[in-house]
């Protein structure tokens, strides 16, 4: 079975240090574990899944790929099926930022024992960063994957004092704010366009909730514009 990863999972795979035992949390189809073993990036992967359907699909795909000796499937929530020190890198991708933060919060000894966590929140990225800082995790890298004209933030974190941080570190990210690659630049422009499209109609709405939302989006817009300078 050949697996061709799309850009999002490919970028995550490329951020995994060679030779680590890797956990893929919420593996779904098990494409990432299969790719990591076939490409020789990892020699052993533990893949977890909470839902019965995807768990069975992952088992079937691992069997089809003939990789049962290298990929172990564990049924259960988040990092709970793992013991501290069992893996060096965990990938938690394709879930909401609050769900990812909850998974880490519920298993602090396991999360804290890892050298690296690669997190790919689909939404609520600032909330995930805020919670990572408050739990004592440092963001050591960030990048953007583009797939079908959609942008995906990828956050690399590990247990370490985050040091001082500000609103821009939470909203944009401590690494992304300084990373001036063309894709990051495009992403920042995209965020600015979205915020402007939300702000304009709110300017004519005089309700308390409308004004509150307007103030919030204007503050966010200021932050994203500041990063461009």
What is the smallest separation between the CB atom of 131 and ligand SAM, expressed in angstroms? Answer: 15
**Rounded-to-integer distance, Cα 54 and Cα 62, Å:** 12
Q: Is 153 in the site for ligand SAM (CB under 6 A)?
A: no
73 in contact with ligand SAM (CB under 6 A)? no
Which residue, 64, 66, 71, is CA-closest to 87?
Answer: 71
How many residues in total does the chain contain?
Answer: 229
Binders of ligand SAM among residues 5 to 34 (CB under 6 A) are 9, 25-28
Which residue in the set 33, 94, 97, 162 belongs to the binding site for ligand SAM (CB under 6 A)?
A: 94
**φ and ψ at 40, to 5 degrees?**
75, 15
Based on its alpha-carbon atoms, the radius of gyration of the chain, rounded to whole angstroms, reads 19
* By the rule CB under 6 A, 81 interacts with ligand SAM: no
Closer to ligand SAM by CB, 26 or 174: give it: 26
Q: Are 20 and 115 in contact (CB under 8 A)?
A: yes
Check: CB of residue 22 under 8 Å from CB of residue 42: yes
Evaluate whether 47 touches 24 at the Cβ level (below 8 Å). Answer: yes
Q: Tell me which of 34, 73, 101, 103 binds ligand SAM, using CB under 6 A.
A: 103
- Considering only 11, 20, 78, 217, the residue that binds ligand SAM (CB under 6 A) is 78
- Tokens of residue 109, six digits: 């000894």
Using CB under 6 A, which of the segments 60-68, 95-103, 130-138, 205-213 binds ligand SAM? 95-103
CB of 21 to ligand SAM, least distance (A): 18
Does residue 48 bind ligand SAM (CB under 6 A)?
yes
Please say which residue, 16 or 202, places its beta carbon nearer to ligand SAM: 16
Stretch that binds ligand SAM, among 34-42, 45-53, 82-90, 192-200 (CB under 6 A): 45-53
**Closest to ligand SAM by CB, 13 or 227:** 13
Nearer to ligand SAM, 48 or 131 (CB): 48
- Burial code of 131-155, b = ≥16 C-beta within 10 A, e = fewer? bbbebebbbebbbbbeeeeebbbbb
In order of 193, 197, 201, 228, the CA distances from 206 in angstroms are 23, 17, 11, 31
Q: Return all residues near 176 (Cβ < 8 A) that are at least 6 apart.
A: 142, 143, 144, 153, 184, 187, 227
Q: Taking CB under 6 A as the rule, does residue 93 contact ligand SAM?
A: yes
Please tell me whether residue 51 binds ligand SAM under the rule CB under 6 A. Answer: yes
Task: Give me the residues that bind ligand SAM (CB under 6 A), please.
Answer: 9, 25-28, 48-51, 54, 77-78, 93-95, 99, 103
């Amino acid at each position: 079975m050949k697996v061709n990863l799309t850009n999002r999972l490919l970028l995550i795979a490329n951020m995994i240090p060679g030779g680590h035992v890797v956990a893929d949390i919420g593996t779904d189809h098990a494409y990432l574990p299969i790719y990591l073993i076939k490409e020789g990036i990892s020699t052993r992967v533990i893949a977890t899944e909470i839902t019965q359907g995807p768990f069975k699909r992952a088992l079937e795909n691992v069997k089809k790929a003939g990789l049962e000796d290298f990929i172990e499937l564990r049924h259960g929530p988040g990092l709970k099926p793992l013991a501290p020190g069992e893996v060096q890198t965990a990938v938690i991708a394709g879930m909401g930022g609050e769900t990812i933060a909850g998974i880490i919060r519920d298993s602090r000894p396991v999360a804290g024992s890892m050298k690296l966590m690669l997190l790919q929140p689909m939404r609520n990225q600032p909330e995930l960063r805020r919670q990572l800082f408050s739990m004592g995790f440092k963001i050591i890298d960030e990048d953007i994957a583009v797939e079908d004209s959609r942008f995906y933030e990828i956050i690399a974190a590990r247990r370490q004092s985050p040091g001082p941080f500000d609103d821009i570190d939470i909203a944009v990210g401590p690494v992304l704010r300084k990373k001036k690659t063309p894709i990051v630049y495009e992403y920042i422009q995209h965020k600015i366009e979205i915020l402007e499209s939300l702000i304009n109609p709110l300017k004519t709405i005089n309700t308390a909730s409308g004004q509150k939302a307007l103030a919030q989006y204007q503050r966010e817009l200021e932050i994203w514009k500041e990063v461009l300078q």
